[in-house]
Structure 1
Amino acid sequence: MIEHIRKLKMNLSEEDTKGITHSVTYKDIPTFNMNNFTIKENYFESYIPYSWQGGYYVVRKEKSTFYTEVSSVKSKIIITQFLLLALFASISFFLSRHALRPMQEAITKLDNFSKDLIHDLNTPVTSILLNTKILEKTLEKESKALIRIKTSAKEIGELHNNLTILLEEETMIMQEEKLFDLIDDVLSTQTSLYPNIKIELQRSELIVKVNANALKQVLSNIFSNACKYNKQEGYIKVYAKENILYIQDSGVGIQKPQNIFKRNYKEQNSGHGIGLDIVKRLCDSMDIDISVSSVVGEGTLIVIRF
């Protein structure tokens, strides 16, 4: 408003008055203040001296014009902030990609190395197991050393199978499978390894959406532990209710069942403590809930919810 009067006094043209009007009054204002400013119902008003002889400019600005200008300024500020944010985000994205590229390349190399190592591990393990079988046939009495070699080779074989399935964790294809058909495949191996364990299987036609290889590996780990740490002439009960699978054994039990899915946790001297960690990760990948309850000396119950 003051700028409008300044241009008026200097005879400067003003194309857009921005809703500002003026008039001249010669009324007497005894206590005039240059900072006077009045807010009326529809406009703002201010008095500015007219000349040395007296009088005042009465300058008014419409409220609607003022609020329109304020809204325009706010919009420009928001757009500017958005553009700056987009600019900073683009710069940050470019810098982060540039900074993380060496790490990504290192991870890719490590991943490829792991895959190659796990793949190449299969051949010597298979060879060891085959040769132990040949030695068993040639020896009249199986030696303790040969038993230890065979047991260690089997553990390495189980570890190999776990890691092979785990590499597919992020690219699993899920499809509907008959649960007890998968269980039959797994138990066919376990029953031959542990003929003294009685398997009580209560079949049902439960169909679940899973990755078949991953679930078979989960079940293989669970049944292997249930047989390995069971009592002589012990049992394993397998049954399902609705979408829940129960695996109960008569084994030695677990002292701290809440810890068994933690990596490297084990309560027995044998094993590596990573099998059940892999089981939990595979279950999480298939959106399966798994829980454990156990009583030492009585047995363990595994509950798998699909």
Structure 2
Amino acid sequence: MDTSVFYKQYVNAAPQELAPNGYVLQDLVRRYPWFSLGYLLLFKALCGMGGDASLSQSEKTAAYIYSRKKLYFILQQTRKDFETLAEEEFFTLDVPEQEPILDTGAAADKTLSAAADKTLAAAADKTLAAAADKTLAAAADKTQSRSIGTASLSDAGPLEFVLDIPKNRTFYPGADYFGKEQMASVSLDVTTPIDRFISENPRFTQALKRAGENLDTSEQDAPPALKDDEFVTETLAKIYAAQGYHKLAIDCYAKLILLYPEKSAYFASLVEEIKQKSNN
């Protein structure tokens, strides 16, 4: 993901706006566990979902940010927003629209003569008869066209919709580190305070030169797995299954079976469907 796009869509977004992208932020902090801003945005997304979803993430997020007051402020502000929204929905009344009452003009009716009434009535009858004939003709044409279309569809046979089932995805972490060549090409801008501080300290410049040496990447190829205290929902499991993360989806359903034994048969049937799709 591009840095500018990330800061534009996520950093300044409200908790309710981040709620639909919670699974993206959860995958982001799993790939980059040192990314403290990602933990803060994930906490905001869980606050935007409402309920107690954010409580399981609050303790983990507190270890990565500089002040817990920030978490308290986000949580309290989100709860106030939900209360305000609930009050607005409760006090909003759906008032049916009333049709305006037209003044028939009693004074004008008195001035009309009997001859004018007969003439207008005859003209209205002719107009209504012509309009009725046109309406019946148009209805007959539509009925005939619909019958022809129905016959053609019945001759063509039943329609089939083919859904592409995503295969089991392979994880490629990618840019989890920078190699020696990338670090060697880094140029410091002495006009900025941070780069000037690094250039004036030899131990930092030597660390940049040694970056990328003897780097062990064997653990980065392993696919992510759910932790024991990780927050899971049925919606999250469905998202993992739709994106091809079958192993994570099955792990989510396994935890849900332990949390909700009364729905164990339902979750077990979903696990069997995922296994059949992954085997095919």
- TM-score band, normalised by shorter chain: under 0.3
Higher helix share: 2
TM-score (norm 1): 0.18
Instruction: Determine which structure has greater relative contact order: mean sequence separation of CA pairs < 8 Å that are 6+ residues apart, divided by chain length.
Output: 2
Higher strand share: 1
Structure with max Cα Rg: 1
TM-score (norm 2): 0.19
